[in-house]
Amino acid sequence: MNTPTDDILKNLTEDQLTAVTHLDGPMLVVAGAGSGKTRVVTRRIAFLISQRIWPSQILAMTFTNRAAREMQERIGRLVGDVPRHVGTFHSCCARFLRQYVEALDDGRTKDFVIFDADDQKALLKQCLNDQPATGGLLPGAISDLISRAKSACLTPHDILAKEAWDNAETVLEVCQAYENRLRAQNAVDFDDLLLLVARLLRERPAIREIIHNHFRYLLVDEYQDTNHLQYELLKLLVNPANNNIHATGDPDQCIYSWRGADYSNIMNFEHDFPNAVIVRLEKNFRSSEHILNVASRLISNNLNRIDKTLIPAIAADDPQKVRLVTVGSDRDEGLWIARRIKTLHLNGNPYRTMAVFYRTNRQSRALEEALVRAAIPYQIIGGLRFYARREIKDLLAFLRLKVNPADRISLERVAAFRGGVGPKTLAAIEQCAREQHLEAFTLLCQPDFAHRWQKKNAKVLDFANWCRQLHDLPCTPVGQAVAAVHDFADFTHHAYDREGTPEARQENLQEMITNAIHYEREHDQAGLNEFLQEVALVADVDTHDLDRDTVIMMTLHCAKGLEFPYVFIAGVEEDYLPHANTVADPDQVEEERRLFFVGITRGREEVALLNARSRPSWDGDWGRQPSRFLRELPMDDIIHTTFNVNNPTVPKPTFRRW
């Protein structure tokens, strides 16, 4: 008889089976690229459920929304029940925080809002403006400092002690002001989501106990990419009585050390969780032999690594060598890829079997053009994030203000959107609000605002009246709330001047309303703040529509965890891969090599690497050098060709010597 458990355990290797059926105690699965890691994680969750563990007792954390979604789908297919707590570190923490934030006693309430990178910078700019003599300090540099500090469980002070900064005193004051204002606005930044949960678990034993009793099994994906904060958080989350933590990862795929990922976490797992069972998955079920040879040789050039092999487990009839294509220019690069895609498609391969990877988002433009010209359908994953678009951020600002009147960043945005009230007037209103111990927006919404506002200029009274109407719009159901705000602010007729396509903006706004309606259908009781939380944490809403047959384009970082029969990696050149900003530091070059390794190991049947001899810079063409990594590859597994159609543009000399 075919019980669900048979399905869950079928087609697994012995090592995979060990990993799937492990029950209690810590386990680390060191899973090489293509060794069936996702399969192991999803099957194990299904297995736990089949062993009568309640789905709600399982907490599984990933790094990306896509990984979380995929995991949920695959579990759903194996067992009917999907654990509720499958999500990114950030979304899981947001959920805990929503529930327990008030125990922190720092003034934040469960209606807190999440500030994204843009909001963070806007807030820092305010802090900088309030400080005299902040000459030359950039919000970006400070937000970077704050984030680095938080993700390393340090203070900005600790970091400044080790680095030479100009006017360190001022920087620290700005950091302090930033934290104060976040708290005053009932807001948290991305790192706070994890940091505050860690603090709760550390400082509130009662909550720690609730969590420990609730979650019996903890799973972590991509353990090599955990930063120190995530590591601390995990140690606090796991119940010391059983140490049921199940981590999977591959040190060779650590590509996020720039944001604090520390693969010594995975190296130290045995030490941190004594008696851990370690399983190594080294058989590769994904790529052809040539691809694996190329990838293995490449990664063996990293000095800082434990030697590890990828054993090919599939034998293709006619394995394709890895193609190395040297093209004359970026236009040829796009053209070659487009032609190859066409050929593959004519041979019966759907577009969705092909993916184009690149190092930086800006490279996508030229490639996109080539695909458009060749009438090849494509989707770009990542890149300009939907919720970071101007019109979307505007609409969100209205919604956020309704949920949280203390959100001053949003109030500013809303005022700027409407016009008539600028920064100076707003500051005056804020001053007045402070005297009356109200938030500025709350003051504006008071029915007796006219009494409370001494200088009765008509513009401000108008604005207050308008704010009150905004405030009175319904917050539920979510779909209607979003639509109501959209109509109230008259987005349809808003003049977004001198910018490309007004139609695109209207479409985006419509999509936002549609998303809200969908969200409302799927989450019965959800309020506006839950919707806003979801929105803040979903990076790519123009997500990968699997139903559409298109070529997929994305950065190498985005590609981790995916696989495609046909893979193209563009711009395998010095300054892109390794990126120019990394070449001074050998450790960073090793990370670039891992990134390249991740890209190559995504391919099942054929991988093509392209390098252009010239590529336009902002002014004229610049010659380009092939990546140093290309010299490290085994030529027996590679076919090198050149391709020159568009006139190779000769690099202009930077100056003329006569």
Partner DNA sequence: GGCGACCAATTTTTT
Partner DNA sequence: ATTGGTCGCC
Instruction: Return the active site residues.
Output: 37-38, 221-222, 253, 602
Under 8 Å between Cβ of 64 and 31: no
SS3 479: helix
Residue 420 touches DNA, criterion: CB under 7 A: yes
Does 615 bind DNA (CB under 7 A)? Our answer is: no
555 binds DNA (CB under 7 A): yes
Instruction: Report residue 140 as tokens.
Output: 């970006």
Region binding DNA by CB under 7 A among candidate stretches 5-13, 37-45, 163-171, 536-544: 536-544
Q: Does 413 bind DNA (CB under 7 A)?
A: no
Q: How many residues bind DNA (CB under 7 A)?
A: 47
CB 38, CB 281: distance < 8 Å: no
Sign, CA torsion 198/58/187/262: positive
419 binds DNA (CB under 7 A): yes
- Rounded to the nearest whole angstrom, what is the least distance from the CB of residue 581 to DNA in the complex? 4
Strand-strand pairing, 621-623 and 603-616:
antiparallel
Q: Which of 124, 516, 537, 598 binds DNA (CB under 7 A)?
A: 537
From residue 170 to residue 199, the character string flagging contacts with DNA as x (rule: CB under 7 A) and all else as - is: --------------------xx--------
User: What are the residue ranges of helices labelled H in 185-246?
Assistant: 190-203, 205-214, 228-237
Query: Does 63 engage in binding with DNA (CB under 7 A)?
Result: yes
Residues 305, 251: contact at Cβ < 8 Å?
A: yes
What is the sign of the dihedral through the CA atoms of 79, 84, 90 and 91? positive
Does position 658 bind DNA by CB under 7 A?
no
Strands of 217-220's sheet in order across: 86-88, 58-62, 217-220, 245-249, 27-31, 277-281
Give the Cβ contact number of residue 369 at 10 Å.
Answer: 14
Among 337, 421, 445, 528, binds DNA (CB under 7 A): 421
Per DSSP, what are the bridge partners of residue 114?
188
Query: Residue 544: exposed, middle, or buried by beta-carbon count in 10 A (0-12, 13-18, 19+)?
Result: buried
**Contact between 259 and 151 (Cβ < 8 Å):** yes
Candidate residues 259, 342, 434, 523; the one interacting with DNA per rule CB under 7 A: 259
Q: Which is nearer to DNA, 49 or 97 (CB)?
A: 97
C-alpha distance from residue 356 to each of 38, 266, 302, 335 (Å) = 22, 30, 25, 13
Does position 507 interact with DNA (CB under 7 A)? The reply is: no
Cβ at position 446, least distance to DNA in Å: 20
CB of 317 to DNA, least distance (A): 35
At 330 the three-state DSSP class reads helix
Q: How far is the CB of 241 from DNA (least distance, A)?
A: 29
Select from 44-52, 235-243, 322-330, 535-543 the region that touches DNA (CB under 7 A). Answer: 535-543
How far is residue 429's CA from residue 412's CA, in Å, rounded to a whole number? 12
Beta strands 217-220 and 58-62, pairing class: parallel
Give the binding range for DNA (CB under 7 A) out of 202-210, 324-332, 394-402, 537-545.
537-545
Per-residue b or e along 566-598, where b marks 16 or more CB atoms closer than 10 Å to that residue's CB: bbbbbbbbbbbbbbeebeeeeebbbbbbbbbbb
Binding DNA by CB under 7 A: which of 158, 499, 545, 587? 499
CB 131 within 8 A of CB 171: no
Binders of DNA in range 618-647 (CB under 7 A): 618
Residue of the chain from 35, 38, 65, 627 that contacts DNA (CB under 7 A): 65
Among residue numbers 126 through 165, which ones bind DNA (CB under 7 A)?
140
67 vs 281, which CB is nearer to DNA? 67
- Under the binding rule (CB under 7 A), the answer on residue 69 touching DNA is no
- Please state the closest distance from residue 522 (CB atom) to DNA, in A: 19
Task: Indicate whether 362 belongs to the interface with DNA (CB under 7 A).
Answer: yes
Among 579, 626, 628, 632, binds DNA (CB under 7 A): 579
42 binds DNA (CB under 7 A): no
CB of residue 614 to DNA, shortest distance in Å: 18
Task: With beta carbons less than 8 A apart as the criterion, state whether 651 and 622 touch.
Answer: yes
Nearer to DNA, 2 or 654 (CB): 654
Among 406, 426, 443, 569, binds DNA (CB under 7 A): 426
Cα–Cα distances in angstroms (integers) from residue 647 to residues 332, 336, 514, 614, 650, in the given order: 9, 14, 47, 11, 9
Q: What are phi and psi of 15, to 5 degrees?
A: -65, -40
Selection from 573, 637, 577 nearest residue 607 by Cα: 637
Residue (15 or 573) nearer to DNA, CB: 573
Least distance in angstroms from the C-beta of 491 to DNA:
16
In the list 64, 248, 288, 293, the residue contacting DNA (rule: CB under 7 A) is: 64
Helices (H), 380-477: 390-403, 408-418, 423-435, 440-445, 449-452, 458-472
Pick from 52, 162, 271, 424: which binds DNA (CB under 7 A)? 424
Taking CB under 7 A as the criterion, the residue among 206, 500, 655, 656 binding DNA is: 500
- Smallest CA-to-CA distance from 444 within 467, 416, 423, 421 is with 467
C-alpha 236/C-alpha 247 separation (Å) is 15
Question: Six-digit token pair at 161?
Answer: 């002690």
Beta strands in 230-282 (DSSP E): 245-249, 277-281
Q: How far is the CB of 132 from DNA (least distance, A)?
A: 15
Chain positions 280 to 339 lying near DNA, rule: CB under 7 A, are none
Measured from the CB atom, the residue of 316 and 583 that comes closer to DNA is 583
Q: Quick one: 361 or 442, whose CB is closer to DNA?
A: 361
Return the range that interacts with DNA (CB under 7 A); candidates 89-97, 241-249, 291-299, 394-402: 89-97
- 109 closest CA partner among 396, 399, 407, 398: 407
Q: Which residues contact 193 (CB under 8 A, 6 or more apart)?
A: 89, 90, 93, 94, 97, 114
Stretch that binds DNA, among 304-312, 318-326, 424-432, 436-444 (CB under 7 A): 424-432
Are the beta carbons of 556 and 576 closer than 8 angstroms? Answer: no
Q: How far is the CB of 121 from DNA (least distance, A)?
A: 8
Closer residue to DNA, CB minimum distance, 80 or 420: 420
One of 163, 317, 497, 547 touching DNA (CB under 7 A): 497
364 to 393: interface string for DNA, x by CB under 7 A: ------------------x--x----x---
Nearer to DNA, 374 or 416 (CB): 416
Q: How near is the Cβ of 507 to DNA at its closest, in Å? A: 15
Among 56, 109, 209, 258, binds DNA (CB under 7 A): 258
Distance in Å, CB of 3 to DNA, minimum: 36
List residues near DNA by CB under 7 A. 63-66, 88-91, 117-118, 125, 140, 190-191, 258-259, 359-362, 382, 385, 390, 416, 419-426, 497, 499-500, 537, 539-540, 554-555, 557-558, 579-582, 618
